[in-house]
Amino acid sequence: VGTPVRQVAVFGAGYIGLVTGACLAELGHRVVIRDINPDKIELLRSGDVPIYEPGLGDMITRNKERLTFTLDLQETLDGAEIAYVCVDTPPSASGDADLSRLWSVVRSLEGATHLRAVVVKSTVPVGTGARVRSALDAAGLAHVGYAANPEFTAEGRAVNDFLHPDRIVIGSADEATAALIAELHEGVDGPVAVMDVRSAEMVKLASNALLATKISFINEIATLCEKTGADVEEVARAVGLDHRLGPHFLRPGIGWGGSCFPKDSEALRQLASNTGYHLQLLSAVIEVNNLQKRRAIQKLKDELGTLTGMRVALLGLTFKPGTDDMREAPSTVLAARLLAEGAEVSCWDPMARPADTEPWTSTSRYERPEEALEGADAAIVVTEWPQLKEVDWARAAGTMRRPVLFDGRNLLNPAEMRALGFTYMSVGRP
Ligand code: UGA
């Protein structure tokens, strides 16, 4: 009540743009979301959501009076006070982020002299904001404010993360713009951290790098637990009780994946090397993550003698449960290695799209985990979907050619699985 309603133009109807646009509409603002993909816009207009994100569809429906989806630039900018740039910034061949989509949005703002602020939410290299600022100045938009406003939402809980964030980071060179963006978030419950643009850009990359570091660290401790007889689950639980360390992102596993950690850690490494500095720690964090998948394959090889001609079941394919996202999923690396070794792959996932597994030749995809396990020489739990806890493992042991199971997510109980006759291996547990 009392907060001014703003007219916001959101560029990009991807994961970040949709969540940002829908949440800003939920806060009471009028939002126009623009994308250049006609199929996407048509889908959104018909009431469908092109990505799977809990709560997002309902939120879009609930706020449909305040939300417009369009291909049209004029319609997007008409009356807009704030332009949010939410396009993707994928890695390019050189390792640097590909900012072509961002630049095409910035160019399209020429003439939008009524704007009060341009805000970049896309993850970008430090220094991008300064370049956008110069481009706006050159385009006659020197009076329009600029802010970096990185996002910290995790897939599967993005709507909740947006409305209840640990912090809202706003980087701007001028107080009025920072205040405008802070005010836009009124109703969001989280502290606002205002800083300069470069620092805000760095917060995003540093946060993801530190989260990835925690995971790689516990994965390395897990390896050492295997060699020394300690139990990494006990270790992580007690380490996490130290409030200075915290319990989060200490779950050992088969390695981190997804659309953010791999891309952002590479981008940060590249950013550093562009300045002539080699990031020692982050390079090791990335290497440990690659090693984690090689170790999984090696464990099966040690157990089976060879992988050639073996049938291996991959259970869970998405980069984490609760999403259909296969980007940089550990399963894609495992499948490629297994196939290269001459193994046959059978797989199961409740949400991965068929198109994602089509390139894996000599791979059979099944509706139920039990079917993928039938006749397999070994299986890997790749993603900790809760459905895998419900599998009748006693029966499955009987239908497998060899009951060899590598639980890459420590989802199952070692004693129980061994009692069922499995040669059961997991990550860092005796
Ligand atoms: C991540 C961050 O958590 C968000 O804060 C950030 O905004 C987002 O990237 C982004 O940059 O957009 P997300 O990629 O959706 O979010 O997924 P996470 O839940 O963080 O998981 C990332 C990967 O780490 C997954 O493969 C997961 O299996 C793995 N992981 C996570 C572990 O192996 N162990 C853990 O303890 C936690």
Q: How many CA atoms lie within 13 A of 300 on its CB side?
A: 30
What mean pLDDT do residues 37-61 have? 95
Closest protein CA for atom 18 of ligand 1:
154
Averaged confidence pLDDT in the chain = 96
Extended strands (E) in 75-167: 82-85, 117-120, 145-148
Whether 86 is catalytic: no
Domains of the chain: 7-195 (3.40.50.720), 261-426 (3.40.50.720)
Indicate the pLDDT class of residue 104, thresholds 50, 70 and 90.
Answer: very high
Q: What is the pTM for the complete model shown?
A: 0.95
Counting residues of the chain whose pLDDT is more than 90, the rounded percentage is: 94
**Can you give the pLDDT at residue 1?**
54
* The pairing of beta strand 168-172 with beta strand 145-148: antiparallel
Is residue 214 within 8 Å of residue 239, measured between CB atoms? no
- Ligand 1 cavity residues, CB under 6 Å: 151-155, 208, 211, 215, 249-251, 253, 256-258, 260-261, 264, 319-320
Minimum CA distance residue for ligand 1 atom 8: 154
pLDDT of residue 360: 86
**Cα distances (angstroms) measured from residue 123 to each of 78, 90, 115, 211, 231:** 26, 9, 22, 16, 37
Give residue for tokens 């590598």: 406
pLDDT at 363: 84
- Best residue among 56, 166, 260, 333 to mutate for probing ligand 1's pocket (most ligand atoms within 8 Å of CB) is 260
Euclidean distance between the first and the last CA atom of the chain, given in angstroms as a whole number: 57
Mutate to test the pocket of ligand 1, among 320, 333, 426 (most ligand atoms within 8 A of CB): 320
Range name among 92-101, 115-124, 131-140, 324-333 with the lowest pLDDT average? 92-101
Task: Measure 246 CA to ligand 1 centroid, in angstroms.
Answer: 16
**What ipTM goes with this model?**
0.96
pLDDT digits (tens, 9 = 90+) for 391-417: 999 999 999 999 999 999 999 999 999
C-alpha dist (Å) from residue 140 to 22, 107, 109, 135, 172: 30, 11, 10, 9, 19
